[in-house]
Amino acid sequence: MKQQPLVSLKDIKKHFPVGSGLFGKKNHFVKAVDGVSLDIYPGETVGLVGESGCGKSTTGRMVVGLSDPTGGEIYFEGKKLNEYKAKKSLGKNLQMIFQDPYSSLNPRMTVADIIAEPLVLHKVGTASERRKRVDELLERVGLASYHGNRYPIEFSGGQRQRLGIARALALQPKLIVCDEPVSALDVSIQAQILNLLKEIQNDMGLSYLFIAHGIQAVKHISDKIAVMYLGKIIEFANKEELFENPRHPYTKALLSAVPHPDPKMRNRERIILTGDLPSPANPPAGCSFHTRCPVAMEQCKRIDPNLLPTSKQSLTACLLFEDKVAN
């Protein structure tokens, strides 16, 4: 029997109205997310990568219910997300950790109170049971029980991210959206946090949607990777296939900037993208990547490619592949 996805995004959109026309009518929309479909299965990590402003964080916020889509549907265990919200049980299953843990940790609360807060909000346990759970969580993320009496300002950046993870784990969620959780940390600390997330996943069997700016940042932790450009997924594949055989010209450009461990591959051509990411308020017609694509064709200015299977393990949105659709 086919496994049911834990979370399923079906053509989700987030269009923000901007500007006013006659009689105060909103006449223009920023299409921050514009038709994203994606499945995340139990126990797996999907990496979501793309440049700043491509819509990846907005997607993450919708997945945990912090923001509602303006179109499409999100399903959790086969049920629409908004039906879970009505039951206030969503937060138990879907959590988020952020790039800047300090801004998400109340500086006036002790660490113990911060980590216990989700338990209090969901009326889980007595005060002493919650303190016991806080101690367990501190230990799980590599900190000690006595850290619970301190304040966030007393911790380093890496330790604060550990606190953010402990808080996210308090209710034993099934999925955590990790929004660039290591991008503000030193490289050695990044590895420690990624290893910790991996260990926790192995122990608890939870799923991650791991958002990052650079494709290399998601390599270590992801099973599958989705590449976003201007609010859309332009390539989705399992990690090995994406790194060994990228198909979309944008993915190829991102990967060409990543140092390769194989010395024979180190002299491969670096693809430099010219021009800035266009504004999602005024995206190019046709393929939205055509203004920067090194292999753009005339029809790319007119035709918006669909995200279609290019193998059993990959989907690509590029006209170069529309006549090579996998069976």
Binding residues for ligand SF4, per CB under 6 A? 248-249, 287, 289-290, 293, 295-297, 300, 305, 318-320
Q: Which is nearer to ligand SF4, 127 or 295 (CB)?
A: 295
Where would I find the beta strands (DSSP E) of 44-103?
45-49, 71-76, 79-80, 94-97
User: Mapping DSSP to helix (H, G, I), strand (E, B) and coil, where does residue 84 land?
Assistant: helix
Q: Of the two residues 127 and 297, which places its CB atom closer to ligand SF4 in the complex?
A: 297
66 vs 303 by CB, closer to ligand SF4: 303
User: Token pair 């000690």 is at which residue?
Assistant: 144
Helix 111-121 / helix 157-169 crossing angle, nearest 10 deg: 20
- Cα distance between residue 164 and residue 150, in whole Å: 14
- Min dist CB 326 to ligand SF4, Å, is 17
Which amino acid type is present at position 117?
E
Least Cα distance to 222 among 27, 49, 11 occurs for: 49
> In terms of Cα–Cα distance, which of 60, 151, 68 is closest to 99?
60
CB of 15 or CB of 290, closer to ligand SF4: 290
Q: Name which of 130 and 248 has its Cβ closer to ligand SF4.
A: 248
Q: How far is the CB of 279 from ligand SF4 (least distance, A)?
A: 18
Distance CA 283, CA 286 (A): 9
